Amino acid sequence: MQQVFSIPKSIKKDCKYTFCPGCDHGVAIRLLCEVIDELDIQDKSICTTSIGCSVFLYDFIEIDCIEAPHGRALAEATGVKRARPDKVVFTYQGDGDFASIGLAESMHAAFRGERLTALMINNTTYGMTGGQHGPTTMMGQVTTTSPMGRNREYYGYPAKMAEQIALADGCAYSARVALDSIPHINEAKKAIKKAFQVQMDGIGLGFVEILSTCPTNWHMTPEQAHERVRNDMVKTFPLGVFKDLSECK
Protein backbone atom coordinates (compact mmCIF):
# COMPACT_ATOMS: atom_id res chain seq x y z
CA MET A 1 0.00 0.00 0.00
CA GLN A 2 1.29 3.49 -0.79
CA GLN A 3 1.86 5.72 2.22
CA VAL A 4 0.47 9.18 1.49
CA PHE A 5 0.82 10.86 4.88
CA SER A 6 3.42 10.65 7.63
CA ILE A 7 5.10 12.62 10.39
CA PRO A 8 7.83 14.86 8.91
CA LYS A 9 11.37 13.52 9.33
CA SER A 10 12.36 16.75 11.07
CA ILE A 11 9.83 16.19 13.87
CA LYS A 12 11.14 14.07 16.75
CA LYS A 13 9.91 10.47 16.68
CA ASP A 14 8.70 10.50 20.29
CA CYS A 15 7.38 14.06 20.09
CA LYS A 16 4.38 14.80 22.29
CA TYR A 17 3.17 18.39 21.94
CA THR A 18 2.60 20.08 25.27
CA PHE A 19 0.54 22.90 23.79
CA CYS A 20 -3.06 23.58 24.86
CA PRO A 21 -5.90 22.06 22.79
CA GLY A 22 -6.68 24.29 19.80
CA CYS A 23 -3.33 26.11 19.89
CA ASP A 24 -1.82 26.63 16.44
CA HIS A 25 1.83 26.16 17.49
CA GLY A 26 1.58 22.47 16.56
CA VAL A 27 0.36 23.29 13.05
CA ALA A 28 3.07 25.93 12.59
CA ILE A 29 5.81 23.54 13.73
CA ARG A 30 4.53 20.81 11.43
CA LEU A 31 4.54 23.19 8.45
CA LEU A 32 8.05 24.31 9.33
CA CYS A 33 9.25 20.70 9.43
CA GLU A 34 7.47 19.78 6.19
CA VAL A 35 9.25 22.68 4.49
CA ILE A 36 12.63 21.65 5.93
CA ASP A 37 12.07 18.08 4.72
CA GLU A 38 11.00 19.20 1.26
CA LEU A 39 14.04 21.48 0.93
CA ASP A 40 16.19 18.63 2.30
CA ILE A 41 18.01 20.90 4.73
CA GLN A 42 17.47 19.11 8.05
CA ASP A 43 21.13 18.18 8.44
CA LYS A 44 22.39 21.69 7.85
CA SER A 45 19.76 23.64 9.75
CA ILE A 46 20.33 25.36 13.09
CA CYS A 47 17.49 27.02 14.98
CA THR A 48 17.69 29.72 17.64
CA THR A 49 14.57 29.43 19.76
CA SER A 50 12.97 31.94 22.07
CA ILE A 51 11.21 32.39 25.39
CA GLY A 52 7.47 31.91 25.83
CA CYS A 53 5.29 29.01 24.65
CA SER A 54 7.76 28.60 21.79
CA VAL A 55 10.57 27.76 24.22
CA PHE A 56 10.08 23.99 24.04
CA LEU A 57 10.61 23.84 20.28
CA TYR A 58 13.81 21.83 20.75
CA ASP A 59 11.72 19.08 22.36
CA PHE A 60 9.68 18.71 19.18
CA ILE A 61 12.08 19.10 16.26
CA GLU A 62 14.98 16.88 15.22
CA ILE A 63 17.18 19.87 14.45
CA ASP A 64 20.10 21.47 16.33
CA CYS A 65 18.78 24.28 18.54
CA ILE A 66 20.01 26.96 20.88
CA GLU A 67 17.63 28.74 23.23
CA ALA A 68 18.19 32.49 23.07
CA PRO A 69 17.41 34.81 25.98
CA HIS A 70 14.05 36.59 25.64
CA GLY A 71 14.06 38.69 22.46
CA ARG A 72 17.60 37.86 21.32
CA ALA A 73 16.86 35.07 18.85
CA LEU A 74 17.83 37.05 15.76
CA ALA A 75 21.05 38.29 17.39
CA GLU A 76 22.05 34.71 18.21
CA ALA A 77 20.98 33.57 14.75
CA THR A 78 23.20 36.31 13.30
CA GLY A 79 26.11 34.94 15.32
CA VAL A 80 25.43 31.38 14.15
CA LYS A 81 25.17 32.43 10.51
CA ARG A 82 28.25 34.67 10.55
CA ALA A 83 30.28 31.84 12.12
CA ARG A 84 28.84 29.15 9.82
CA PRO A 85 27.57 30.77 6.60
CA ASP A 86 27.03 27.33 5.03
CA LYS A 87 24.24 26.48 7.49
CA VAL A 88 20.55 27.28 7.12
CA VAL A 89 19.64 29.28 10.23
CA PHE A 90 16.15 30.14 11.41
CA THR A 91 14.34 31.57 14.41
CA TYR A 92 10.94 30.71 15.87
CA GLN A 93 9.53 33.37 18.19
CA GLY A 94 6.32 34.64 19.65
CA ASP A 95 5.06 38.19 19.14
CA GLY A 96 6.29 39.37 22.56
CA ASP A 97 9.74 37.96 21.90
CA PHE A 98 10.00 39.30 18.34
CA ALA A 99 8.06 42.56 18.42
CA SER A 100 8.42 43.79 22.00
CA ILE A 101 11.54 42.89 23.97
CA GLY A 102 13.40 41.83 20.83
CA LEU A 103 12.27 44.59 18.45
CA ALA A 104 15.78 46.06 18.06
CA GLU A 105 17.34 42.68 17.31
CA SER A 106 14.52 41.82 14.88
CA MET A 107 14.58 45.11 12.96
CA HIS A 108 18.36 45.26 12.74
CA ALA A 109 18.59 41.70 11.41
CA ALA A 110 16.24 42.93 8.65
CA PHE A 111 18.19 46.17 8.09
CA ARG A 112 21.43 44.19 7.76
CA GLY A 113 19.74 41.76 5.42
CA GLU A 114 20.96 38.75 7.39
CA ARG A 115 20.59 35.54 5.42
CA LEU A 116 18.18 34.12 7.98
CA THR A 117 14.59 32.94 8.19
CA ALA A 118 12.42 34.38 10.98
CA LEU A 119 9.01 33.04 11.97
CA MET A 120 6.81 34.99 14.38
CA ILE A 121 3.72 33.51 15.97
CA ASN A 122 1.18 36.31 16.53
CA ASN A 123 -1.51 35.30 19.04
CA THR A 124 -2.09 38.85 20.37
CA THR A 125 -1.03 37.98 23.92
CA TYR A 126 1.71 36.66 26.21
CA GLY A 127 0.51 33.06 26.30
CA MET A 128 2.92 31.33 28.67
CA THR A 129 2.67 33.89 31.46
CA GLY A 130 -1.14 33.77 31.45
CA GLY A 131 -2.47 36.12 28.78
CA GLN A 132 -1.13 39.61 29.38
CA HIS A 133 -1.28 42.61 27.04
CA GLY A 134 1.46 42.56 24.41
CA PRO A 135 2.67 44.46 21.37
CA THR A 136 0.10 42.81 19.07
CA THR A 137 -2.93 42.93 21.39
CA MET A 138 -5.83 44.30 19.33
CA MET A 139 -7.75 47.49 20.10
CA GLY A 140 -10.44 46.71 22.65
CA GLN A 141 -8.99 43.28 23.49
CA VAL A 142 -9.33 42.31 27.14
CA THR A 143 -6.23 40.73 28.71
CA THR A 144 -5.09 40.32 32.31
CA THR A 145 -3.22 43.63 32.07
CA SER A 146 -5.78 45.42 29.90
CA PRO A 147 -8.86 44.51 31.94
CA MET A 148 -10.99 47.23 30.30
CA GLY A 149 -9.67 46.40 26.86
CA ARG A 150 -6.79 47.91 24.91
CA ASN A 151 -7.31 51.64 24.50
CA ARG A 152 -5.28 54.34 22.82
CA GLU A 153 -4.65 56.37 26.01
CA TYR A 154 -2.91 53.70 28.05
CA TYR A 155 -1.61 51.24 25.48
CA GLY A 156 -1.31 52.84 22.07
CA TYR A 157 -1.66 50.71 18.97
CA PRO A 158 -0.75 47.17 17.93
CA ALA A 159 2.52 46.52 16.06
CA LYS A 160 2.16 45.25 12.49
CA MET A 161 5.40 43.43 11.95
CA ALA A 162 4.94 41.96 8.47
CA GLU A 163 4.47 45.49 7.08
CA GLN A 164 7.31 46.95 9.17
CA ILE A 165 9.87 44.27 8.33
CA ALA A 166 8.98 44.57 4.63
CA LEU A 167 10.14 48.23 4.72
CA ALA A 168 13.73 47.21 5.54
CA ASP A 169 16.04 47.13 2.51
CA GLY A 170 17.59 43.91 3.76
CA CYS A 171 14.26 42.09 3.91
CA ALA A 172 13.87 39.74 0.96
CA TYR A 173 10.46 38.32 1.82
CA SER A 174 7.74 39.28 4.27
CA ALA A 175 4.29 37.76 4.53
CA ARG A 176 1.44 37.38 6.99
CA VAL A 177 -0.44 34.09 7.03
CA ALA A 178 -3.09 32.39 9.14
CA LEU A 179 -3.78 28.80 10.18
CA ASP A 180 -7.57 28.92 10.53
CA SER A 181 -8.47 26.93 7.41
CA ILE A 182 -6.99 24.44 4.94
CA PRO A 183 -6.50 27.05 2.18
CA HIS A 184 -4.78 29.39 4.63
CA ILE A 185 -2.59 26.57 5.96
CA ASN A 186 -1.51 25.78 2.41
CA GLU A 187 -0.70 29.46 1.82
CA ALA A 188 1.24 29.53 5.08
CA LYS A 189 3.40 26.62 4.00
CA LYS A 190 4.21 28.32 0.71
CA ALA A 191 5.21 31.49 2.57
CA ILE A 192 7.46 29.60 4.99
CA LYS A 193 9.13 27.85 2.08
CA LYS A 194 9.81 31.16 0.33
CA ALA A 195 11.22 32.59 3.57
CA PHE A 196 13.75 29.75 3.54
CA GLN A 197 14.45 30.02 -0.17
CA VAL A 198 15.42 33.71 0.01
CA GLN A 199 17.93 32.82 2.73
CA MET A 200 19.36 29.92 0.76
CA ASP A 201 19.61 32.06 -2.37
CA GLY A 202 21.53 34.68 -0.36
CA ILE A 203 19.01 37.46 -1.05
CA GLY A 204 18.24 38.52 2.51
CA LEU A 205 15.98 38.00 5.49
CA GLY A 206 12.83 35.92 5.03
CA PHE A 207 10.04 36.72 7.48
CA VAL A 208 6.63 35.16 8.08
CA GLU A 209 4.14 36.41 10.65
CA ILE A 210 1.75 33.58 11.52
CA LEU A 211 -1.64 34.50 13.00
CA SER A 212 -2.34 31.87 15.64
CA THR A 213 -4.86 30.97 18.27
CA CYS A 214 -4.56 31.03 22.04
CA PRO A 215 -7.88 29.48 23.13
CA THR A 216 -6.80 29.21 26.78
CA ASN A 217 -6.02 32.88 27.25
CA TRP A 218 -8.71 34.08 24.87
CA HIS A 219 -11.23 32.04 26.94
CA MET A 220 -12.61 30.46 23.78
CA THR A 221 -13.14 27.00 22.36
CA PRO A 222 -10.75 26.02 19.56
CA GLU A 223 -13.56 26.66 17.04
CA GLN A 224 -14.33 30.11 18.45
CA ALA A 225 -10.61 30.94 18.50
CA HIS A 226 -10.21 30.10 14.83
CA GLU A 227 -13.31 32.15 14.04
CA ARG A 228 -11.70 35.08 15.82
CA VAL A 229 -8.61 34.74 13.63
CA ARG A 230 -10.80 34.52 10.53
CA ASN A 231 -13.27 37.30 11.35
CA ASP A 232 -11.46 39.75 13.65
CA MET A 233 -7.69 39.36 13.60
CA VAL A 234 -7.37 39.65 9.82
CA LYS A 235 -9.03 43.10 9.97
CA THR A 236 -6.15 44.42 12.11
CA PHE A 237 -3.55 42.10 10.60
CA PRO A 238 -4.38 41.68 6.90
CA LEU A 239 -3.05 38.54 5.26
CA GLY A 240 -0.75 38.81 2.28
CA VAL A 241 2.76 39.11 0.92
CA PHE A 242 4.25 42.52 1.69
CA LYS A 243 7.58 41.98 -0.03
CA ASP A 244 8.94 39.29 -2.32
CA LEU A 245 12.40 39.57 -3.83
CA SER A 246 12.68 35.82 -4.34
CA GLU A 247 13.21 36.31 -8.07
CA CYS A 248 16.09 38.78 -7.51
CA LYS A 249 18.82 36.17 -7.24
> Applying CB under 8 A, which residues contact other proteins?
12, 42-46, 48-49, 55, 58, 61-69, 72, 75-84, 87, 104-105, 108, 112
- For 173, phi and psi rounded to 5 degrees? -155, 130
Q: Which is nearer to other proteins, 112 or 230 (CB)?
A: 112
For the CB of residue 231, give the shortest distance to other proteins in the complex, in Å: 36
Helices 182-200 & 25-39 angle (0-180, nearest 10): 50
User: Nearer Cβ to other proteins, position 110 or 179?
Assistant: 110
Question: What angle, rounded to 10 degrees, do the helices at 73-83 and 103-112 form?
Answer: 40
Quote the least distance from Cβ 62 to other proteins, whole Å. Answer: 5
The whole-angstrom separation of Cα 24 and Cα 211 is 9
Nearest to other proteins of 24, 76 (CB atom)? 76
Shortest approach of other proteins to residue 67 CB, angstroms? 4
Name the residue nearer to other proteins (CB basis): 30 or 72. 72
Using the minimum distance from each CB to other proteins, give the nearer residue, 49 or 212. 49
Phi-psi category of residue 240: left, alpha or beta, with phi > 0 → left and psi -120 to 50 → alpha:
left
- Smallest distance from other proteins to CB 52, Å: 11
Shortest distance in whole angstroms from residue 198 CB to other proteins = 20
3-state secondary structure 104-172: HHHHHHHHHCCCCEEEEEECCCECCCCCECCCCCCCCCCECCECCCCCHHHHCCCCCHHHHHHCCCCEE
